[in-house]
Structure 1
Amino acid sequence: MYLLELYQNNYSKDLVLFETLEEGREFVAQIPGYTLETEDGFDVEYVNPKYLPDYMEIVFNGNIVPLSRFSFNSEENVDIIWKEISNLSVKNDKVIEGYSKIDAYVVNNDEVKAYVEAREANYRKAKDFIERCGYEADRSFFGSEDGEAILYRKCGAEDWHFLCHLDPLFVEIEDVEEYVKEALEEAF
């Protein structure tokens, strides 16, 4: 199912729900000022509110959806955002469609388990190696724009040093000990 969100200048309105994206696009195509463009390989959809009348109704499958130009700032386009929503009332034996936010990064739902397990396994390997080399390790910056990171310092030292973020590139590192060893050699 697809939820139609209208978004403009930090205001969002969840408007209606469709079984398919095709149905949704059939609906939004009826809105005056609707545009569908492709930018960098991605579909971008918006409505220019200058083309909306004072009041209008779109009838879709017998449902009447009111729209008004007075709902939007006429100087900015209204972004159309499609949110794929899983219907839990329908029996299904698979991970729900969509994505999850893991720290500062977005991961497809069907990849979340493997991503988190690989991320934490690599963190443990890095931490263990750092400590075997005579350093202390710490996790910091959870919730920051760039996400959580590994910091290290010589035991008893005051200053912490940045090693790396726990980002998707970190998850893909195959030889964590070699990665950490090189980083420690460069730092000291």
Structure 2
Amino acid sequence: MYILQLCQGEISINVALFHTIEEGRKFISQLPRYQYEEIEGFVYEYFIPDYMPDYIELKYNGHIVPLTTYMFTGEGKVDICWNKITDLSQPGNGMIIGATRVDAYYVPNNELKDYIEKREYNYICVKQYLESKGYDVERAYFGSEDGEAILYSDDTGEWHFLTHMDPDFVESKDILKDLGI
């Protein structure tokens, strides 16, 4: 099942749930100037609300969904996003498909446990090493656009950026060597 979301800047509006993306595209393509583009293997779907009437009703399978240009406050296009969601009412077969956000990155659910364990292990290695050299260590930037990072300071009290705790940090086999410390 797929949730249709309309996204513009910080605004994200859940519109409807569909069994397939194709059903959802049939529905949303009723919007004026709906665009579907495939560029280098990536699919982009959007519309420009400037071309939408102040009020419009989209009809699908006996339902009427009202939309208005006043739903959107930003300038420019509105991205159409499809979020696959698992119906937990149906019998399952293990890990649900999809991905989970970790800081600024999405990690496939079937890799999440290993990713978190490696991330925390690498952080502990870096922290213990730096502390053994007399540095104070701090995690910072949680929730930022680039994700959490490691900062360190010496006896002068000045803080320095070391690295983001991103997928490259997690996948490092020898984190201290890779960071050059």
Give me the TM-score of the superposition, normalised by structure 1.
0.77
> Aligned-pair distance for 1:55?
4.9
2:39 match: 39
* 1:1-188 map, 5 Å: 1-8=1-8, 10-53=10-53, 55-68=55-68, 76-132=76-132, 134-143=133-142, 144-154=144-154, 156-180=155-179, 182-183=180-181
Q: Distance in 1 between matches of 2:72 and 2:103?
A: 33
Shift, 1:16, TM fit: 0.9
| Higher Rg of the two aligned structures | 1
**Which segment drifts farther, 24-33 or 136-145?**
136-145
% same residue? 45
CA distance 1:13–1:162, change in 2 (3 Å):
closer
1:8 Cα shift?
3.6
Cα 1:70–1:167 change in 2 (3 A) is closer
Give TM-score scaled by structure 2 length: 0.80
Shift of 1:86: 1.7
1:122-151 per-residue CA deviation (whole Å, 9 max, x = no partner) reads: 11222233344x333413214133332223
Say if 1:31 and 1:52, in contact at 8 Å, map to a contact too: yes
Q: Which amino acid aligns with 1:36?
A: Y
**SS of the counterpart of 2:119?**
helix
Give the number of aligned pairs: 180
Q: Match of 1:88, SS?
A: coil
Instruction: Give, in whole Å, the separation in 1 of the partners of 2:45 and 2:102.
Output: 27
Structure 1 residue 79: deviation in Å?
2.2
Q: Identify if the C-alpha distance between structure 1 residues 101 and 9 changes in structure 2 by more than 3 Å, giving closer, same or farther.
A: closer
Q: Which runs of 5+ in 2 are unaligned?
A: none
- The RMSD of aligned alpha carbons is 2.8
State the one-letter code of the partner of 2:140: F
Deviates more, 1:38-47 or 1:54-63: 54-63
